[in-house]
Structure 1
Amino acid sequence: RFLGTKVTIVEMLPDILMTEDIDIRKGLRSILEKQGVEIHVQMKVIGVQVKDGKVTVFCEDHEGKEHQLGGNQVLVAAGRSPCLEGIDLDRLGIATDGPFIKVNPRMETSVPGIYAIGDVIGGKMLAHVAMEEAEVAVDNILGRPREVDYTRMPNCIFTFPEVGSIGMTEEEARQRGGEIKVGKFSYPFSGRAQAEGSTDGFVKIIADPQTGEILGAHILGERATDLIGEVALAMTAEAVVEDLSAAVKGHPTFSECLKEAALAWEGRPLHFLGGG
């Protein structure tokens, strides 16, 4: 859209980015629609026709009504399937989980000594996840036992503005039972965001109110994909929310937004108006 192209999104599920926190979904959808992106949810594509350099997409909504959408190009982003051509899994005796190769947390298949990583095992099909899986597989091959911890894998979405997330969403944290506490800081109260004119977004931290254990963090806004790395480090080091608020951040930086969200979680926010 930022390059001047009219964009229409067709999503079969009830909302965009259903694996993300509900506040991220609502916030990003609102921003995209303000940018002029047309979004259709609960609608499935039933056909595509290309004629004279134009594309017509035939869709059906949740009520069974048919719609036609026109354009010049169609980008299909409906997931990926593993490329296993030339590998006879049955002959090798390697177990599968649906179309994917089944592995344990050490990345070892059902056949001892044979390991698999990346898109062929399913799960989070992200480059940085596959890299971690590869490192874990090699460590185990070399006799250094290690397992992959998927709960500390960040998600990065390079929209305008960006999305960065890690750990549980608020819905997931509530469903697990027990109490949770949420701290939130909005970008409009950030000096750096104001200076750059990038005031859309927020930082949200979810944690255990008794221990301060960070259960999840969700960021919508400028530099979100960089900022989420700070939370990944904190979770890996088993730091608590109070550690995030205690760290001194340079001013003016976007990193301050993370500190402010941690302070809000503690009930002592610095920069906010009303509910901030």
Structure 2
Amino acid sequence: MKEITCKLLVIGAGPGGYVSAIRAGQLGIDTVIVEMAKPGGTCLNIGCIPSKALIHAADDFHRTAAMAAGRNAMGIRAENLAIDFGRTMAWKDGITGRLTMGVAGLLKKAGVKMVVGRARFRDGKTVEVETETGQQVIRAENVVIATGSAPVELPMLPFGGKIISSTGALSLAQVPERLAVVGAGYIGLELGIAFAKLGSKVTIVEALDRILPLYDTQLTQPVAKRLSALGVEVLLGTKVKGMSSNGETLLADAADGEERRVAADKVLVTVGRKPVTEGWGREELELDMDGRYLRIDDQCRTSMRGIYAIGDVTGEPMLAHRAMAQGEMVAEIVSGKRRSWDRRAIPAVCFTDPEIVSVGLSPDEARAAGREVKIGQFPFSANGRAMTLSSEEGFVRVVARADNHLVLGIQGVGAGISELSAAFSIAVEMGARLEDIAGTIHAHPTQSEAFAEAALKTLGHALHV
């Protein structure tokens, strides 16, 4: 094959990689992107998008089931309830297919050349790609490493057969009658709740003494309450040991020393994700590491000149929108623009039931940073729109400096609260003060009013509570 030369080579077409390539193309940079699977990466094809589609389908099915049983205050009834799970999965796959084609189209529109295959560094400026038609050599002035992350596999529960990762859970042919979920982080709870709503008997096994350890207890309490209402059994302080000899039961040790046996048709292991730092020739480079991640500075530069790294391979938080923001920034830096990375306003969203959003500092984090803070919280039980949606569980909380009322962080838990994440992020990013939020007219009746009321509460004069 003829050797390719370019100004920018992006390795990995996940959210960070494809955004970096598209922005570079828009800026007139000669750009090549290499991907061994489909454009869009984990998030689009086997992660964020398909999981949210499944969650939505599960919500609709569960809501309809409640109607069929007459368990709703609105008096709505439905009959002959059933789900064609194969059709549900086909609908989900249709969404990811459309988006994958969309990303490919955007790359082409931006003038980006895509090479399908596995990339491997020869040196800091040269990459060889194993394609279906042979080896392709690419020489680049600048390289972006966007190789992403992969599910962590437990030695005693290797993936295969009934032991599945989140990828396997999103490609099941049928709803498992009994599902054991190992790990009570956001991936385990999002999928565990979805399958519980679809009819699975779900048991969650967590080694720590609480669910969703990245969020404070006040935010996770409504989720714990919902898990109980859905009939999900949660075993905290319980460490898995492996499967029984007949492969029918998950074995674990509880905090009290007793062995717990969980019958399961499928065991979903969600104990975290690891950066993909092997398999692309890292050993041919001199890259500094930050633990298991690639070390980067505030411009996503690695320790080697002309090599950048973005997304999950560079550490927490492993979020698609973090990778996208980094990718866009790197493209602009390569084009000659002055940019630097600021992570203070990255929203974290947990698509459980109810959903959780967190932007900026939590109350404990603000205090740990030596800040004297004012905190205000407004419940959705006092919000008219939440009442009309039968979704009164949860609240919005604002954390601000006590001296000048600068907003340091915003958190919330409630149905559909992910759609308020942009408003929360803008407030922190723009350096809003409590008076800015309280003085902004919020449409009535909407759940967003809880945001303004939380700011008013922090100022000491909430109107509706």
Query: How does the TM-score come out when normalised to structure 1?
Result: 0.92
The percentage of counterpart residues that share the same residue type is 36
Measured after TM superposition, the shift of residue 50 of structure 1 is 8.3
CA–CA separation in structure 1 for the residues paired with 2:344 and 2:378: 23
* Matched residue, 2:114: none
Measured after TM superposition, the shift of residue 242 of structure 1 is 1.3
Does structure 1 residue 120 correspond to structure 2 residue 305?
A: no
Measured after TM superposition, the shift of residue 89 of structure 1 is 2.1
Contact 1:55 1:74 in 2 (8 A): no
**Of 322, 331, 339, the match for 1:129:** 322
**Of 80, 94, 104, the match for 2:287:** 94
Contact 1:60 1:66 in 2 (8 A): yes
C-alpha offsets along residues 191-248 of structure 1, whole Å, 9 cap, x if unaligned? 0011110111111111111111111111100221111210101111111121111111
Give runs of aligned pairs for residues 58-97 of structure 1, distance below 5 A: 58-97=251-290
Does structure 1 residue 26 correspond to structure 2 residue 229?
A: no
CA–CA separation in structure 2 for the residues paired with 1:139 and 1:50: 56
Query: How does the TM-score come out when normalised to structure 2?
Result: 0.56
Of 33-42 and 241-250, deviating more is 33-42
* Matched residue, 2:204: 9
Which stretches in structure 1 are left out of the alignment for 5+ residues? none
Judged with a 3 Å threshold, the aligned counterparts in structure 2 of structure 1 residues 86 and 211 are, in CA distance, closer, same or farther, namely same
Which stretches in structure 2 are left out of the alignment for 5+ residues? 1-195
* Matched residue, 2:403: 210
- Kindly report the root-mean-square deviation, in angstroms, between the aligned alpha carbons of the 2 structures: 1.7
Does structure 1 residue 47 correspond to structure 2 residue 47?
A: no
Contact 2:395 2:412 in 1 (8 A): yes
CA–CA separation in structure 2 for the residues paired with 1:228 and 1:241: 17
Amino acid at match of 1:135: E
Amino acid at match of 2:337: R
Does structure 1 residue 268 correspond to structure 2 residue 461?
A: yes
Contact 2:357 2:412 in 1 (8 A): yes
* Matched residue, 1:197: 390
* Matched residue, 2:419: 226
CA–CA separation in structure 1 for the residues paired with 2:406 and 2:389: 33
Contact 1:106 1:145 in 2 (8 A): no
* Matched residue, 1:152: 345
Bigger RCO of structures 1 and 2 (CA < 8 A, at least 6 apart): 2
Judged with a 3 Å threshold, the aligned counterparts in structure 2 of structure 1 residues 209 and 18 are, in CA distance, closer, same or farther, namely same
Judged with a 3 Å threshold, the aligned counterparts in structure 2 of structure 1 residues 70 and 114 are, in CA distance, closer, same or farther, namely same
Judged with a 3 Å threshold, the aligned counterparts in structure 2 of structure 1 residues 234 and 41 are, in CA distance, closer, same or farther, namely same
CA–CA separation in structure 2 for the residues paired with 1:223 and 1:26: 17
Of 14-23 and 181-190, deviating more is 14-23
Contact 2:380 2:386 in 1 (8 A): yes
Amino acid at match of 2:240: V
C-alpha offsets along residues 142-180 of structure 1, whole Å, 9 cap, x if unaligned? 222222222210001111111111111221112222311
CA–CA separation in structure 2 for the residues paired with 1:106 and 1:157: 28
Q: Equivalent residue of 1:115, what SS?
A: strand
CA–CA separation in structure 2 for the residues paired with 1:45 and 1:147: 43
CA–CA separation in structure 2 for the residues paired with 1:255 and 1:32: 25
Q: How many residues are matched?
A: 270
